[in-house]
Amino acid sequence: MIDLDSDICGSLGGSFSREWIETNGIGGYASASVSGANTRRYHGLLAAATRPPLGRVVMLSKFEETLIVDGTALELSSNQYPGTFDPEGYKYLSGFRLDPYPVWTYEIAGIEIERSLFMPAGENTTVIRWKIKSDRSTEATQPILVVKPLLAFRDHHHLRHEDAAFDGDYRADKGLISIQPYAEMPALYLAHDAGTIEHQGYWYRDLEYAIEQERGFDFREDLYQPFSLTFDLSDGATIIASTEPRKAADATQLEKSEIKRRAELVVRTETDDESLWPLILAADQFIVARGTGKTVIAGYHWFSDWGRDTMIALPGLTLSTNRPDIAKSILTEFSKHISDGMIPNRFPDAGETPDYNTVDATLWFFEAIRAYLARTGDIRFIREVLYEKLVDIIEWHVRGTRYGIHVDEDGLLYAGEATSQLTWMDAKIGDWVVTPRTGKPVEIQALWYNALCIMADLAKELGDIDNKKLYKTMSTKAKASFREKFWNTTDECLYDVIDGDEKDASIRPNQIFAVSLTHTMLDAATARWVVDKVEAELLTPVGLRSLAPSDPHYAPIYIGSPLERDGSYHQGTVWSWLIGPFVDAYRKTHSRDAMAERRIDEILAGLKEHLKETMLGQVSEIFDAEAPHKPRGAAAQAWSVAELLRVSLDKP
């Protein structure tokens, strides 16, 4: 479905700059560059979720792979070391494809070798297979494949360095090897059909990860190589890396089951647009188990499950793909964690105590519920599981909850304290909140009004007449105050934040939500002004800028140290997920334009082309604000995929 030729994957720039990822539905993953080299600390062939969906540990980092033909050793692997690339196996790559999982094709010494890799759903397992596709060599001997596993056994946020406490002893039974360097981590099992095992016991030192270096982090790692496995490649070769004992013979059935499962995801979506099929499979990679329910990993590789991201991504990941059962499970799971009228913003990697430090995640919860009900008509679920909790949320917001969040006298929602960052623009460095937005942010008012209207509709549907009147009165008051206070006559758009007499006139994309959400406070003419302003100042081929170029704080490039990057995170950097609300708003304000959908296709074309760049089949978190809009941040982001998929599938 995504296919790269030798010009791309056989070149240094092409193969090292493109990545692939496999996930297992419980938080674990496998990922690397197309070249086979690891370019991030997060890369590895088995990053297991030890406390699903978190507690992720890179156990098996990579393989060193050598093809031996008539006594000549030919290296298939690729690595970067200080000042050099060694070996350079990417030069033998003639092709790479996602079909539906990663498949490499090597042409070497007249032999065409295919290497494939996938993760079956529901277990910390990676299956890697090699086979000869064709053999035009004139050599009499059969090719031999030697595979050397390189082990990390460390938290996926960290790096491994040579460690005397690393226990390299392993147990080798027939077709199964187990190794457990640290007692507090699970054992790694390697099921295989190799002919011989040879003890090694070496450290590979100073492997370099280019993306970590670019991001200003430590970027060198040591990996342990305990043994080598030798295969007669004429019969193929299989290794299953897992936290549970497996048999190499399991690979065929695991592959058949996984291919069937992924095909069913595409069929269920009922779209003939083949260009969206990779996005459908990408959407599935973010849906993971939490407890007895489901949640959403916000992005790969370093994000956990975030409340805000989950609620924004839910419609595109689950409803647009005809998986409402997953949406129901996610809504149920998050409803169990409501505290003081707030859903969690984040479930941390370390520990199970969630963070409640956002004003918008809970308001997006209302919109996700509205979308679920609109798709399914499942009012019984709302009545029996959610409605009373939603009523309680509104009451908490009226009387006040954490971080000064409360309904002000004018009916609008106030939020924030001096050192808090409560909206999606949440970059913070020490006590410096880069975009504090304390007071009444424009999108929070749009979400608050939308939530009140949703509650009025639900109260009417459920026969709760008193609350219907209450929510209607509250929404009417909020609407009048918003129209009075938020219009910026000078710039003909909406203010970004109002705090007392202070009005932030920064031209940001947050105002688009005042148009895009189902319930809007703006009349048609004002809405059109907002859309036109955002299109003129903020729209790029890959999403919306977070700040207009005319602003003195505008930062066109997202690069440098963590301090420099966080300082520009919402100061111009393009966010791809914002393409969703922009398209919604554009459709609303151009509903009578016969050419509107053609224009939307043009707007979405850049992100669809991006599926062949960076993380193949995925959409990056952010991009530079100026051309060529280089991808930055997380290489695969849930709400980026979800919003592109939603507005592509759910056309009017």
Contact 511, 494 (CB under 8 A): yes
Q: Could you tell me what percent of the chain has a pLDDT over 90?
A: 91
Question: Which pLDDT score, from 0 to 100, does residue 419 have?
Answer: 84
Q: What is the pLDDT of residue 420?
A: 87
> Is the Cα torsion angle 314, 320, 326, 332 positive or negative in sign?
positive
Average pLDDT for residues 272-287, to the nearest whole number? 96
Task: Report helix angle 324-335 to 307-314, nearest 10.
Answer: 150
Asked if residue 100 has a cis previous peptide bond (ω within 30° of 0), the answer is yes
Alpha-carbon distance of 470 to 474, in angstroms, equals 6
Q: Once rounded to an integer, what is the mean pLDDT over residues 355-379?
A: 97
ω into 562 cis (within 30 of 0): no
pTM of the model: 0.96
Residues 302, 129: Cα–Cα separation, whole Å: 27
pLDDT value of residue 552: 96
CATH of 2-260, one of 3.90.1570, 2.70.98, 3.30.70, 2.50.20: 2.70.98
Q: Give the per-residue pLDDT at 146.
A: 98
Distance CA 386, CA 331 (A): 9
Q: If phi over 0 gives left and psi between -120 and 50 gives alpha, with beta otherwise, what is residue 144?
A: beta
Please determine, for residue 325, whether its predicted confidence score (pLDDT) is greater than 80: yes
* Displacement of CA 275 from its chain's centroid (Å): 19
Whether residue 549 contacts residue 527, with contact meaning beta carbons closer than 8 Å, is answered with: no
Q: Are 288 and 27 in contact (CB under 8 A)?
A: yes
- For residue 351, the model assigns a pLDDT of 60
102: preceding bond cis by omega (within 30 degrees): no
Contact 517/511 with Cβ under 8 angstroms? no
Positive or negative, the CA dihedral 442, 444, 445, 451 is positive
Q: State residue 140's pLDDT score.
A: 62
Q: Can you give the pLDDT at residue 418?
A: 79
Contact between 35 and 90 under an 8 Å Cβ cutoff? The reply is: yes
Q: Is the peptide bond before 628 cis (omega within 30 degrees of 0)?
A: yes
Phi then psi for 26, rounded to 5 degrees? -130, 15
Residue 601: exposed, middle, or buried by beta-carbon count in 10 A (0-12, 13-18, 19+)? exposed
**Topology (CATH level 3) of domain 270-649:** Glycosyltransferase (1.50.10)
Confidence of residue 368 (pLDDT cuts 50, 70, 90): very high
In terms of C-beta density within 10 A (0-12 exposed, 13-18 middle, 19 or more buried), how is residue 406 classed? middle
For the ranges 116-130, 176-190, 341-355, 434-448, the lowest mean pLDDT is seen at 341-355
Q: Which residues of 413-432 are buried (b: 16+ CB within 10 A; e: fewer)?
A: bbbbeeebbbbbbbbeeeee
Does the pLDDT value for residue 226 go beyond 70?
Answer: yes
Q: Tens digit of pLDDT for each residue in 537-559?
A: 999 999 999 999 999 999 999 98
**The predicted structure's pLDDT at residue 560:** 85
Lookup: tokens for 142? 């059969």
Which pair of structure tokens corresponds to residue 628? Answer: 């060529």
Average pLDDT over every residue of 215-237: 96
Higher pLDDT, 5 or 561: 5
For residue 160, what pLDDT is reported?
A: 98
What is the 8-class DSSP label of residue 384? I
Residue 139: pLDDT band (50, 70, 90) is low
Which one, of 210, 211, 18, lies nearest residue 97 by Cα?
A: 18
User: Does pLDDT of 348 surpass 80?
Assistant: no
Q: Work out the mean pLDDT of the chain and round it to a whole number.
A: 96
Q: d(Cα 544, Cα 567) in Å, to the nearest integer?
A: 18
Query: Who contacts 603 (Cβ-Cβ below 8 Å, separation ≥6)?
Result: 539, 541, 579, 582, 583, 586
In the prediction, which pLDDT does 344 show?
A: 94
| Longest CA–CA separation in the chain, Å | 87
Q: How far apart are CA 628 and CA 272, in angstroms?
A: 31
In degrees to the nearest 10, what's the CA dihedral of 567, 572, 573, 577?
120
pLDDT in tens, 400-419: 999 999 999 999 999 998 78
The pLDDT of 260-275, averaged and rounded, is: 96
pLDDT in tens, 26-84: 999 999 999 999 999 999 999 999 999 999 999 999 999 999 998 899 999 999 999 99
Range of weakest confidence among 135-149, 173-187, 315-329, 501-515? 135-149
**pLDDT category, 346, cuts 50, 70, 90?**
confident
Q: Kindly state the tokens that stand for 14.
A: 């092409």
The domains of the chain are located at 2-260, 270-649
Give the span between the Cα atoms of 197 and 179, in whole angstroms.
14
User: What confidence score (pLDDT) does residue 109 get?
Assistant: 87
Q: Strands (DSSP E) along 233-375, which ranges?
A: 237-242, 287-290, 293-296, 299-300
pLDDT in tens, 6-22: 999 999 999 999 999 99
Peptide bond between residue 53 and the one before it cis (omega within 30 degrees of 0): yes
Backbone angle region of 492, left / alpha / beta, with phi > 0 → left and psi within -120 to 50 → alpha:
left
Pick from 365, 372, 313: nearest CA to 342: 365
Q: What pLDDT does 195 receive?
A: 97
Residue 615 has pLDDT above 80, yes or no: yes
User: Helix, strand, or coil here: 23?
Assistant: strand
- pLDDT value at 297 more than 90: yes
- CA 578 to CA 531: how far, in whole Å? 13
Q: Which of 128-132, 502-506, 518-522, 565-569 has the lowest mean pLDDT?
A: 565-569
Please compute the mean of the pLDDT values over residues 144-154 and round it to a whole number: 98
How far apart CA 116 and CA 97 sit, in angstroms, is 10
Residues 6+ apart with CB under 8 A from 258: 101, 118, 119, 120, 121
- Give the alpha-carbon dihedral of 395, 397, 398, 399, to 10 degrees: 90
What's the pLDDT at 349?
A: 65
Q: How confident is the model at residue 135 (pLDDT cuts 50, 70, 90)?
A: confident
